[in-house]
Structure 1
């Protein structure tokens, strides 16, 4: 059972990545960045930092082995072929999902993209039901409906927050790409949970880090292939020199983007290990209004009536889901207590 400290750590890491990732990605596009495949690459390019905790985990296992006086060979990696294959598959899917998301951020205000992504909780609930047998409650269904309606409301009057330098066609494609990214990532999260369940090896947080490493490696490879086809490698030096904030800050933005996004992915799959894919999706969705507010503050994005209504529906959906989960937990505890009392031996006075 995962400790509360581990849950809190993953929530903090996820919060930093979920709120900071879209903002720094938009900073790149706002200041002259145009390479979408490169942006999708940055979402997972920070994966080498995972080798640091993995190295300390290996040293810890080696020390315990020496203290026990055994001569067993300790492997650096714990992941076995079955889980490795699943991580590769999820990594490839994530690579394409990253492209869809980067395309959306390139042509949408961050606040709009955040509200669209909020709809993914509805899709996560649906995929979780079929893939990992997560049960629906009336409150879950209510949350799904509200989030879906919220996304539909946001799709109305899309011209109202279109950046001035973009065409209507670019905006619409960006909108649709973001919706597709939300649906695809909603499928990926339960897929990771299913991979954990079918791994046929004891899951640990070290193993979660290894899954993250493999996942991001193959997602990055997908993006690198896309960069090669799109000619990003030739264009990036020119783009760096013409970056509005200066060439030095271009590379600062690139490095911080890779690090911040790694926090998002690590926090997301860490919460799947600690709880479930649905809890991870809920945490992502809960943080989206914060991302929206930050976008309005830092980038002075418009906040129209449609966004306000969509935000209200999204928050209503979150509250509905959490209230349902609290009631469900209380009911489970009550049933468990009644079962335990019923199973106790009868006292002499009862006989």
Structure 2
């Protein structure tokens, strides 16, 4: 069994703290925005992921992956147009804009975290196995939880939970069930995200996370009866176009014939010729 060395532990703990900060921004932003709007803004994290992946882990891009990142980022940026049109009732313009900005910051931070995890894997100076990935996830989530718990204690948020449970429309019991289920689902999400980085790359992890966008959009409109303005429609189309572009590029790359060119053959045969003359 491979145990986490101190170098990897402290790096993972640092990432966990950043993740905790990101969770704070995300929670605040989502609380101030409709689900469909916040989910589309979060899609911009793919652009940030691509940016940091290029500089941190030297991610190689194809025309298809570049096209996907650009389309997904522009799709999220379209939401900046007429942002007041879907402001929830009873919420001030200042609160709405603050929620908008904090959601963008959350996307930025998580776009940084994914390549940082891949960079940590590369610089760990020990063999990275999936068992070790589980340890990384545990340490990350532990420090993220500690960070958030300290903030909640300072802000007296734990005292609000019983009141929220009492006022919850579906009942107090279902409130706590949803709370626990949400925590479990998020744990699976984080484990899956860093697992994909271990198996492939941070860019692919970001792509898979962005794939959740159309599902969230549809569910928000159907179950929460949210408005679906023209801006959201354009953003959704661009996002779907980006998904199609990326996966088509992956499909084309996977099915590309791996023929050896004449120049490659000559370079392979050259050492043999030299050796035969010795």
Per the alignment, do residues 285 and 335 of structure 1 end up closer, same or farther by CA in structure 2, a change over 3 Å counting?
farther
Q: In the TM superposition, what is the alpha-carbon distance from 1:342 to its structure 2 partner?
A: 6.7
Residue matched to 2:55: 130
Q: 2:198 aligns with which of 256, 273, 279?
A: 273
- Give, in whole Å, the separation in 2 of the partners of 1:147 and 1:337: 39
Out of 66, 72, 75, which is 1:141 matched to? 66
- Do the aligned partners of residues 334 and 95 (structure 1) sit closer, same or farther apart at CA in structure 2, a change above 3 Å counting? farther
Could you state the TM-score of these two structures normalised by the residue count of structure 1? 0.72
CA 1:340–1:155 in 2, change beyond 3 Å: closer, same or farther? Answer: same
Q: Which residue pairs with 1:205 in the alignment?
A: 130
Alpha-carbon distance, 1:113 to partner = 1.2
Query: Is it true that 1:117 corresponds to 2:42 in the alignment?
Result: yes
Distance 1:332 1:224 in 2: 53
Cross-structure match for 2:177: 252
Contact 2:46–2:73 at 8 Å: present in 1 too?
no
Q: After TM superposition, list the pairs within 5 Å mapping 1:262-341 onto structure 2.
A: 262-329=187-254, 333-334=258-259, 339=264
Offset at residue 341 of structure 1 (A) = 9.2
5+ residue gaps, structure 1: 1-60, 62-76, 347-351
- Contact kept, 8 Å, 1:146 with 1:317, in 2: the verdict is yes
Question: Deviations along 1:300-346, whole A, 9 cap, x unmatched?
Answer: 11111110100111111222233334444556834599847974799
Give how far 1:245 is off.
2.1
Residue pairs, 1:89-104, within 5 angstroms: 89-104=14-29
SS in 2 for 1:200: coil
More deviation, 126-135/332-341: 332-341
**Deviation digits for residues 16-36 of structure 1 (CA, Å, limit 9, x no counterpart):** xxxxxxxxxxxxxxxxxxxxx
1:204, distance to aligned residue in structure 2 (A)? 0.7
Q: Deviations over 1:85-112 (max 9, x none)?
A: 1110100000000011111110111111
- Cα deviation code 1:160-181 (max 9, x no counterpart): 2222132222111111111111
For the residue of structure 2 that corresponds to 1:163, the secondary structure is coil
**TM-score w.r.t. length of structure 2:** 0.90
Instruction: Note the 1:177-196 alignment, pairs <5 A.
Output: 177-196=102-121
SS in 1 for 2:258: helix
Change (3 A) 1:170 1:343: same
Matches within 5 A, 1:226-241: 226-241=151-166
Instruction: Say if 2:44 and 2:77, in contact at 8 Å, map to a contact too.
Output: no
CA distance in 2, matches of 1:332, 1:270: 29
Please give the alpha-carbon distance, in whole angstroms, between the structure 2 residues aligned to 1:241 and 1:187.
38
Q: Does the Cα contact within 8 Å between 1:114 and 1:289 map onto a contact in 2?
A: no
Task: State how far apart, in whole Å, the 2-side matches of 1:246 and 1:201 are.
Answer: 49
Please state whether the residue corresponding to 1:333 is helix, strand or coil. Answer: coil
List alignment gaps of at least 5 residues for structure 2.
273-278
Question: 1:137 Cα shift?
Answer: 2.8
**Residue pair 1:115, 1:289 contacting (<8 A) in 2 also:** no
1:158 equivalent in alignment to 2:83: yes
